[in-house]
A and B are shown apart, each in its own frame.
Chain A
C-alpha cells in the first residue's frame, strides 16, 4: 500500500511549501540588506545575502528551484521596494549570476565558495553593464575595480555561510 508521503500530490505540496519558505527567506534577506548602510556608497555594491538562499536551493534542492526562487525574489522585491529601473538592473544581475552559478556547479570542479564568488562577481558586473547601457555611458566603468574586489570578498563570505547552512540541513 502506498504511504501518504509517496503520494504525488503530497510531493507537490511539499515542493510548494519548500519553495515558499525559501522565497520568503530570500525576500527577508533582501530587505535586511537595504538596511545596512555600509554598502550604500557605490551603485551595484551589495552583500548579496539573498545568494545564501539561492545557494541553498541550488545545492540542497536542485537547479530549477534555484532559478525559480531567484526569479520570484527579484520580482517581489522590485514590486515591494523597487522601481522599474531597479527591477531591470536586479533582473540582469540576478538572472545572469544564477545561470552562471548553475553552470559552474554542473562542471563539478568547484566548491560552494568558488561558485558563490563567481555568482557575486557576475551579479555586480551584470548590474553595471545594464546601467551602462540604460544610461548610455561608459563612465560607470570606473567602478569596476571596487565592484570586482568586493564581488570576490562577498562571494567568498556568502559562499562560506551558505555551505555551513547546507551542511546543517537535513535531507529534503
Chain B
C-alpha cells in the first residue's frame, strides 16, 4: 500500500483547524473583561483573593509544602519566586484580564483573575506591602 504523506484532505484539514483557531481567538477576545481581583487556589480550593488595584506581595503555601511568591503591582499579578523545580509559573509573566491564569502544577497552585469582587478571605501571609 502506497503511504501518502500529504493529501488534499490534509490541506483542507489544516485549513479547517486554522479556522477553528481564529474562532477560538475571537471568542476569547470578545468575552474577556478587565480583571478586578486575583484569586489564589490550592488543590482546587480557593484560598484567598486580593484586589488587583492594591499592590502587594503574598506568600502562597502550595501542596506538599511548596511555596510561590505572588506579586501584585500596577494592576497586574505575577509569580516572582517558586519552590517548584521547573519554574514555569515564574516564566509565565504577568496577568491582568479576567480569566487569565498562572499555574504551578507541582504545587497545585492556580492564580487567576476574576472580574467581580468576591468575599474577603483570610490571607495566608503578608510579606511587605
Which A residues are closer than 8 A to B by beta carbons?
A: 40-43, 59, 85, 109-114, 117-118, 121, 131, 135-137, 139-142, 144-145, 148-149, 152, 156, 159-160, 163, 166-167
> For chain B, what secondary structure do more than half of its interface residues adopt (helix, strand, loop), or is it mixed?
mixed
Q: Chain A residues near B129 (CB, 8 Å)?
A: none
Contact with A along B83-109 (1 / 0, CB 8 A): 000101001100000011101010010
Q: How far is the CB of B13 from chain A (nearest CB, A)?
A: 5
- In angstroms, Cα B108 to Cα A110, docked, is 39
Q: How far is the CB of A116 from chain B (nearest CB, A)?
A: 10
Binds A, one of B1-9, B49-57, B68-76: B1-9
A113 touching B5, Cβ below 8 Å: yes
A140 touching B101, Cβ below 8 Å: yes
- In angstroms, Cα B103 to Cα A131, docked, is 11
Choose from A110, A135, A167 the contact partner of B10 (Cβ within 8 Å). A110
B105 touching A117, Cβ below 8 Å: no
B5 touching A152, Cβ below 8 Å: no
Q: Chain B residues near A42 (CB, 8 Å)?
A: 88, 92
- In angstroms, Cα B108 to Cα A123, docked, is 21
Q: Closest A-chain residue to B43, C-beta based?
A: A135
Known A-B contacts A109-B9, A145-B28; the reply to A140 vs B92 at CB < 8 A is: no
Choose from A109, A110, A111, A131 the contact partner of B105 (Cβ within 8 Å). A131
